Chains A and B, each alone.
Chain A
Amino acid sequence: MHIVVCIKQVPDTAEVRINQETGTLIREGVPSIINPYDMHAIEAALWIKEQKGGKVTVLTMGPPQAEAALREAISMGADDGVLLTGREFAGSDTLATSFSLASAIKKLQVDMVICGKQAIDGDTAQVGPEVAEFLNIPHISYVRKINEITDGGIKVERLMDEGFDLVESTLPVLLTVVRELNQPRLPSLKGKMNAKKAEIKKLGGPEIGAPTERLGFSGSPTQVKRIFTPEPRIGRSMIEGTPAEQVEALLKILIERKCV
C-alpha cells in the first residue's frame, strides 16, 4: 500500500497577517508548523502502514524552507518526502495548487492520498477534493473514523453536521480527515535521526510534466480584490449577575426589542 500525504507548512499563529497589496500571507518572522489537520492525515497514513504494511510519502508544495515540514513528517515515521518548489509555483490559488499536487502524485504509484480537511491559514478545504478530481479518483471528505481497509476498498465514517455517513469506496481513493480521527504521534528519536539524513526529492514544473500556464499566478483564476479583517461589530452589551438575573435581563431586552 503506497499512501501519499499532502501537507502544508503554515504560520504558527491564529492571527495571520496579510500583505494588503498582494493579498497574500506574510510569512516572514512567523514560525512555521505543519498544518494541524495535516498532522492527523500523517497519523492516519502511519496507522494504515502499521496495519497493512507499505510506504508513506509526504508531499508538499512551497518555498525551499517547506523542507522542514517534510523532515518533521519523516521524524514521525513517514518514509519519503517530496517538495514541489520553484518560481513557477508562486502565487498558486487552490486550483493551481491542486493541479500541481495531482501532477506530482500521477508520477507515483499510489493506492491512497490523505489530506487534512483544510489549512488553518486559507481555510478553503478545496485542495483535497480538487486533487481527487484531477486524479480522477473518488474522494471522501471529513473522515472521522476508518472502519475497514481491504485490498481493493475502504469503509469510513464521514463527519456530518448531525451524526455521520458510512461511506465505502474502491481504491485508489483520496481522504480528507478531521481532528476526531486520531491523536497524532510525537516524533521518535530514530525517526528524527532518519529525518536528518533523509534526502528530500525536489521537483519543479518540468519534472512533474505540467504546462507552465497551469501553474502559479498564470494557472490561478482566483483574483484577490482585497483581504481585510472585518471591523468588530459594535453595540454589544454584557449581561451580568446570577443566572436567574441574567435570564430576566435578557428577556426584558428581547421583549423591548420586540424579538419575542
Chain B
Amino acid sequence: MDYFLNEDQLMIRDLARQIAEEKVVPVREELDEKEKFPWEIMKVLAQSDLFGLFIPEEYGGLGKGSLELAIAVEELSKACVGVSTTYAANALGTYPILLFGTDEQKKKYLPDIAAGKRLVAFGLTEANAGSDAGGIQTTARLDGDSYVLNGTKQWITNGGEAEIYTIIAITDRGKGARGASAFIVEKDTPGFTFGKKEKKMGIRCSATRELVFEDCRIPRENILAREGMGFIVAMKTLDSSRVGVGAQGLGVAQGALNEAIKFARQRVQFGHPIISFQAIQHMIADMATEIEAARALVYSVARFIDSGAKDVTKVSAMAKLFATDMGMRVTTNAVQVMGGSGYMKEYPVEKMMRDAKILQIYEGTNQIQRNVIAQNIIKEAAKGK
C-alpha cells in the first residue's frame, strides 16, 4: 500500500530500515540472550539524527512529528522490540518537557536529547499505581527553593541508563488527581538511586528498574507546568506516545510475517513447499490483512495528531489497542506457521512473540485502552456529537 509518504518520510523510513537490518538484526539474539542494553545501537541512532526526529529545529532537532517517529519505531520494531522500546521510551520521557517545559527547560535539555547525548525515562508507575495512576504514593514537598522527593517508582524503562527522568509525584494529597505534579530529575542527584534490573519475558535488552527517591532534593525550577498539573502532563504525554506503541505492534507483526513467508516458501512437506497449502495461505492472508489495517489506523492517527488536533485521546488509544492486539496475534501465528522451527531460538519469531506481549500491557493495558475509548464515546454521545 502507498501511504503517500513525502520525500523526508521515505528518507527516514529507509535510514531506520538500514539501521535495523545492518545494525540490529545481527545482534538482536545476543542482546536478548544476555539482557545486554543496546548502547551500541543507541549510538548509531544518535549519529543518524534519529533522536532528534520529533524535537523542534530551534532545539537542535529535525522538527518532525508523530508520523515520522512512528515510521522509525515501526522499522526498528521489525528487527527488535527491545531496541525500539529503548528508543521509544526516550521519546515518552521527553514529551513532558516538549509539551509542558518552559523555554529555559527546553533549552537546557532538548538539544542534548536531540543529539542522543543523554537518554530519557518517564516515571509514572509504582507498585500500587499501575492501571490506577491515582494510587501514586511518591511525594514531592516544597522546601525553600527545592522540592524534596520520597518514594519508589517501579518498572521504569531505561531506568539506570537514562540521565534525565520525568517523574510524576504527589504535591498535595488532599486534592486527589489535582494533587500530582511533574518534575525533571537528573541522574546522580543525591538521594536518587536505582533498584535491581528486572528479568523479563521479552524485550530483554531494554532496561527496567526501580527508581528510589530518599529525601532527593531537586531545584524548584525543575517542576513541569505548575503544581497540580501532574496528571494532565502524564495523560497528554501518553496521548502522544501511544501511537508509537501501536507502531511497535505494527513493526513486530510485519517482521514476524516476513519470517513466516520466507520459511513457508522453503519448508517442504508432503512434497511441496508448505506455502502451497491453503491452511498456510489463509493464515498468511489474514496476517497480512490485519497488518495493513493496523498500519492504516496507526498512520492516520499519527497524521491526525500532527495536524494539531486537540483531542486525540480516543483515537490514540484505538491505534495502540488495535495494532498491539494484532501484533500479539500475528507473532503467535508466525510461530504456528513455522511449527517446531518457530518455537526454537534458531529463528527470531519466538522472540518476536515474547516481545509482542508487553505491547498489550505497557503504556496502559489494552483493557485500560478500551475504558478510555468507551469513556470518550460516552462523553461524545452525551454531548450529542
Q: Does B368 contact A (CB under 8 A)?
A: no
* B44, A190: Cβ atoms closer than 8 Å: no
A residues within 8 A CB of B29? none
| Number of B interface residues in the complex (CB < 8 A) | 17
Stretch from A29-37, A105-113, A180-188, A232-240 contacting the other chain: A180-188
B residues within 8 A CB of A187? 15, 48
Considering only residues 8-54 of chain B, those with a C-beta below 8 Å from chain A are 8, 11-12, 15, 18-19, 22-23, 44, 47-50, 52-53
A residues within 8 A CB of B8? 193
A residues within 8 A CB of B7? 196
B residues within 8 A CB of A185? 47
Assembled-state Cα–Cα distance A236/B53 (Å):
57
Assembled-state Cα–Cα distance A186/B62 (Å):
18
> Which are the 3 A-B pairs with shortest beta-carbon distances?
A189-B49, A188-B49, A188-B48
Chain B residues near A (Cβ < 8 Å) = 7-8, 11-12, 15, 18-19, 22-23, 44, 47-50, 52-53, 62
Select which of A186, A193, A196 is within 8 A of B48 by beta carbon. A186
Q: Does A192 contact B (CB under 8 A)?
A: yes
B residues within 8 A CB of A188? 47-49
Assembled-state Cα–Cα distance A187/B19 (Å):
10
* A189, B50: Cβ atoms closer than 8 Å: yes
Assembled-state Cα–Cα distance A191/B23 (Å):
19
Q: How far is the CB of A73 from chain B (nearest CB, A)?
A: 15
Assembled-state Cα–Cα distance A204/B15 (Å):
33
Assembled-state Cα–Cα distance A191/B19 (Å):
15
* A189, B47: Cβ atoms closer than 8 Å: no
B residues within 8 A CB of A192? 11, 15
B residues within 8 A CB of A189? 11-12, 15, 48-50, 52-53, 62
- Counting residue pairs across A and B whose Cβ atoms lie within 8 Å, the total is 31
Considering only residues 114-164 of chain A, those with a C-beta below 8 Å from chain B are none
* B19, A190: Cβ atoms closer than 8 Å: no
A residues within 8 A CB of B52? 189
Assembled-state Cα–Cα distance A186/B11 (Å):
13
Select from chain A the residue with minimum beta-carbon distance to B23: A186
B residues within 8 A CB of A191? 49
* B49, A186: Cβ atoms closer than 8 Å: no
* A186, B50: Cβ atoms closer than 8 Å: no
- Mask of A192-214 contacts with B, CB within 8 angstroms, 1/0: 11001000000000000000000
Select from chain B the residue with minimum beta-carbon distance to A192: B11
Assembled-state Cα–Cα distance A187/B52 (Å):
15
7 contacts between A and B (CB under 8 A): A186-B22, A186-B48, A189-B12, A189-B48, A192-B11, A193-B11, A196-B7
Q: How far is the CB of B60 from chain A (nearest CB, A)?
A: 10
* B18, A190: Cβ atoms closer than 8 Å: no
Q: How far is the CB of B176 from chain A (nearest CB, A)?
A: 44
Assembled-state Cα–Cα distance A65/B62 (Å):
29
A residues within 8 A CB of B53? 189
Select from chain A the residue with minimum beta-carbon distance to B22: A186
Assembled-state Cα–Cα distance A100/B18 (Å):
34
Assembled-state Cα–Cα distance A191/B47 (Å):
10
Q: How far is the CB of A191 from chain B (nearest CB, A)?
A: 8
A residues within 8 A CB of B15? 186-187, 189, 192
Assembled-state Cα–Cα distance A193/B8 (Å):
8
Q: How far is the CB of B45 from chain A (nearest CB, A)?
A: 10
Assembled-state Cα–Cα distance A97/B322 (Å):
59
Select from chain B the residue with minimum beta-carbon distance to A189: B49
Q: How far is the CB of B62 from chain A (nearest CB, A)?
A: 6
* A190, B47: Cβ atoms closer than 8 Å: no
* B62, A190: Cβ atoms closer than 8 Å: yes
A residues within 8 A CB of B23? 186
* A190, B22: Cβ atoms closer than 8 Å: no
B residues within 8 A CB of A190? 49, 62
A residues within 8 A CB of B48? 186-189
Extra contacts, 5 of them, besides A188-B48, A189-B50, A193-B11 (Cβ < 8 A), are A185-B47, A186-B15, A188-B47, A189-B53, A192-B11
Q: How far is the CB of A192 from chain B (nearest CB, A)?
A: 5
Select from chain B the residue with minimum beta-carbon distance to A187: B15
Assembled-state Cα–Cα distance A62/B23 (Å):
31
Select from chain A the residue with minimum beta-carbon distance to B53: A189
Q: How far is the CB of A77 from chain B (nearest CB, A)?
A: 9
Q: How far is the CB of B333 from chain A (nearest CB, A)?
A: 33
Q: How far is the CB of A57 from chain B (nearest CB, A)?
A: 21
* B12, A186: Cβ atoms closer than 8 Å: no
B residues within 8 A CB of A193? 8, 11
Assembled-state Cα–Cα distance A196/B8 (Å):
10
Select from chain B the residue with minimum beta-carbon distance to A191: B49
A residues within 8 A CB of B49? 188-191
Count chain A CB atoms within 10 A of each CB in B8, B47, B52 and give the residue with the most: B47
